[in-house]
Structure 1
Amino acid sequence: MKIRQFAEDALTIYLGDEIDEAVNRQIVALRHHIEAQSFEGVVEVILSYTSLIIHFEVFSVDLEKLKAALEKIDIDALVQEPFQYRVIEIPVCYGGEYGPDIGHFEASGLSEEDVVRLHADTEYLVYMLGFMPGFPFLGGLDERLHKDRLETPRVSIPAGSVGIGGRQTGMYPFESPGGWHLLGRTPVPLFDADRNPAILYGAGDRIVYRSIGEDEYKDIEKRVAQGDYEVNSEVRNK
């Protein structure tokens, strides 16, 4: 565990140098521990693939005391403690206007049905949220679906789009530019400021995509608008 300071109001803790599930477990465990300690002046803990950033109030933190407390943390012991995570099911309508790039895998010998079969019904680990509020970078994608990002990114991608970029899959919570291959779309709002929680998942949780048809997509869309829809989720212990 390496602690570095690159800003007057933040410390960065490094726990690895590559995308790895074991490193993610350490980072998530460390975040929970830091938040549970309620260190005076610490205002936010932000996770990335291999590190976390601790933001603090400059004038209310004894920096040397905080560093000393962090250096005493036994990360190996932390990851041995039981922890809870959520498995969130996200319904996705694949192909057609919802997933215009699903045919990009034909060159690899995969039909649209193959892509859906390989992509859906798999537990993906949420490594981090980034790019925009609620955008999950997910690990666990089948190697046969790995595909470099588009050479020319789109100017506008519909909210709820599910795509693949490199070795990862993820979802766009808002309409935005983007360069991932679009496989489908979910009618579920991925970020909703009026919902508690606003974002349905966080680092360390799992996401499972469930394939649905267009009729079910439109039905869920209506139920969401009426406030009559909740995603399926399950809390698990490990």
Structure 2
Amino acid sequence: MKELAKFPRNRRKTASDTPENSPKIPAFGCAFIGTTAGSILRKVRTCPEVLGHGTSQKLRGFLKNPAVFTARIVVCAASCAQPTQSLTVRTVFGYIPTGPFDLTDEETVGVPLVRTKQRAYMIAVWAGPWGAHQFFLGNTPAGLVHWLALSTLVGFPSSMGFWTGLSIALLLNIGMWLFAVYSMAVMDEDDPKLRGQTSSQYVDRMLWVCKISLWGVDFWRKHRDAHEGDTA
């Protein structure tokens, strides 16, 4: 009985009862996740033509391919941020591809690609964090900087604590992605970087290195069709 008395049934838990290594989500991490989720939900409501109409249709799109659905949200957030006077949707960066979609597998695998702004922009949307757009422009050092940054971000969860490091890594990765898209959107059509063409192995190398499922997805088809309708 004396032994049982040492552990009263109704004793309240204290901080010492919690394992020191138990994972905890910091307050700023919760705030960041909540703010990001709220922003995404607002964009989802305003871009049914990109993500589908109705909650069930959006849910089916996410379950079918989460990576593609997430990328569409990023494109939606950029393309639906400003009202326009025509059916052609502008991005917050002032650019959206409206030319023919010429990056299909049949047109690119094993074929040198002529450097154009539209192609650079699409590649930045597909694989901006990996620096694929920089390799497309022949700027190998800048592409390697992207890989160095990604390698650094991978170590954040273990060095800063899982949730803290993961939140910061995701935030910085999204920032890299948006900056990649922005840098290609504001590039001049006659920029010296757009001269020449890639090697015939460029697409094969990027598909092997990037390891993502976004490459080749035509996110701009409806915008391109709307532009063709305006100019018809």
Identify, as 1 or 2, the structure richer in helix.
Answer: 2
Q: Tell me the TM-score normalised to structure 1 length.
A: 0.21
Identify, as 1 or 2, the structure richer in strand.
Answer: 1
Q: Tell me the TM-score normalised to structure 2 length.
A: 0.22
Which has the greater radius of gyration? 2
